[in-house]
Amino acid sequence: MTRPRALACGLWLALSLAPCLAATPTAGEQRLRAAIEADQPHAIALLERLVNQNSGSLNLAGVKAVGDMVRAELEPLGFEVEWIDMRATGRAGHLVATHRGNGRGKRVLMIGHLDTVFEPDSPFQRFERSGDKATGPGIADDKGGVVIIVSALRAMHAAGTLRDADIKVVLTGDEESAGTPLETARADLIAAGKWADVALEYEELIVRDGRDWATVARRGVTDWQVTTTGESGHSGGVFGEALGYGANYELVRILDAFRRELPERNLTLNVGLMLGGTPATLDPGGARGSAAGKTNIVAAQAVARGDMRTFSAEQEARARAKMQAIVAAHLPKTTATLAFDDSYPAMAPTAGNRALLALLNQVNADLGLPEMGEWDPAKRGAADSSFVAADADVLAGLGAAGTGAHAVGETLDLASIPRQALRSAVLIDRLARTPR
């Protein structure tokens, strides 16, 4: 039996039998609620400090400064905190904090990120509060999530429930723009996933129609590039035996076949950039390029770049095979190649993930909070939690509720911080008292 499957079975059994998963909050859990309520001034002050420190993914010093702020919060709680330098990948680094408990309960990994999409040249730089709402760069994605992690752990420490818990916190410094190579940039997170039994991810909480939703699955994302070539010459010879169809027709044939043959539930394939002409070239990085040509010249080169989002590794493999077969069926006198750039893997909706949601919903019931349903994975982006989904059971979207992520005016519902911190503190406490 694989570890995630065994954990799923164990959690389902714990839900029905284990005395520590009682139908009402324990005295320790009641202390957790009181500790989180008392901690809110500290939590909001921390949020303001984090938001006011720019930490755009390319602002290496700013990302490290935010990491230092979090280090100062976790070390007094008994965590061993390490900064993993990632300048070799073009990014600042990651913060990894480890709390060593008694080794008997479930090992819990908490995942968030320090960076934002707002670089120092953005006009959006400061925290502003109006009642229960606050705005600021990265306030919901993901500095609110980082504050929830800290608030939950501070409450556990104050209530005496942290002492025996085995917890690792990994806050990446490049979630919004991953460093390269990706296998290096995510090696420490993947290692933490292999250590953990359960992973909790603190990206933004989904709230729709007044209801909180949980994330048990996320689609993966893979970038792709199609490059075509053709015989160039006078346009009067196009479609003929000598010149054939040219690079542009070959590219259009491929992309239209992708459109017609690939769509299925939970799979999307986007074309983000196209160039064609004589010549057509991409700049380094693949985000821009140049093309030249005339109406009476058959195009010699063409290129298209885009991404594919899939629900599972099996769906991705099936789509890749279809794409390769389409690309291989060349028009006369043309060639085409297809290349993939691996990015974020899929996080499938496993039995173990759903067992975690069931456990969280028991916590919700015991705390008098509404039940949380499964959010549609097609409506969520990729995230770091996907990198640990092969080794641990994962529950995602446990961060703060907000709106307008990645845009000027990003807003956070401050009332969601204590609600989410309480859910996490009680859930982690129960997991830490469930035998491995």
Q: Is the pLDDT of residue 281 over 80?
A: yes
φ/ψ of 216, rounded to 5, equals -105, -5
For 55, half-sphere exposure in the C-beta direction (CA atoms, 13 angstrom radius) is 31
- Cβ 74 vs Cβ 150: under 8 Å: yes
Peptide bond into 376 cis (omega under 30): no
- Which CATH class name applies to 220-344? alpha beta
Spatial distance between the Cα atoms of 33 and 193, rounded to a whole number of angstroms:
29
Q: Is the pLDDT of residue 303 over 50?
A: yes
- Cβ 382 vs Cβ 219: under 8 Å: yes
- In this structure, is the dihedral angle defined by the CA atoms of residues 137, 343, 348 and 263, taken in order, positive or negative? positive
For 315, half-sphere exposure in the C-beta direction (CA atoms, 13 angstrom radius) is 22
- Cβ 97 vs Cβ 110: under 8 Å: no
Residues of the chain with CATH 3.40.630.10: 3-218+347-432
Spatial distance between the Cα atoms of 73 and 151, rounded to a whole number of angstroms:
9
Spatial distance between the Cα atoms of 24 and 188, rounded to a whole number of angstroms:
37
Please report which helix (H) or strand (E) contains residue 35, including its range: helix 27-52
pLDDT of residue 9: 46
Q: Which tokens sit at 368?
A: 């008098």
Q: Which tokens sit at 67?
A: 């990491």
Per-residue pLDDT tens digits for 374-407: 999 888 888 999 999 999 999 999 999 999 999 9
- Cβ 148 vs Cβ 428: under 8 Å: no
Spatial distance between the Cα atoms of 64 and 85, rounded to a whole number of angstroms:
9
The model's confidence at residue 23, banded by pLDDT at 50, 70 and 90, is: low
Q: Is the pLDDT of residue 109 over 80?
A: yes
> How far is CA 192 from each of CA 13, 61, 102, 189, 197, rounded to the nearest angstrom?
25, 25, 18, 5, 10
Q: What average pLDDT does the structure give for the chain?
A: 93
Largest Cα–Cα separation, the chain: 85
Q: Which tokens sit at 372?
A: 């949380």
Q: Is the pLDDT of residue 416 over 50?
A: yes
DSSP character at residue 218: B
- Cβ 348 vs Cβ 266: under 8 Å: no
Q: Is the pLDDT of residue 313 over 70?
A: yes
Residues of the chain with CATH 3.30.70.360: 220-344
User: What angle in degrees, to the nearest 10, is found between the helix axes of 144-159 and 416-432?
Assistant: 50
The CATH code of domain 3-218+347-432 reads 3.40.630.10
The model's confidence at residue 16, banded by pLDDT at 50, 70 and 90, is: very low
Spatial distance between the Cα atoms of 46 and 286, rounded to a whole number of angstroms:
38
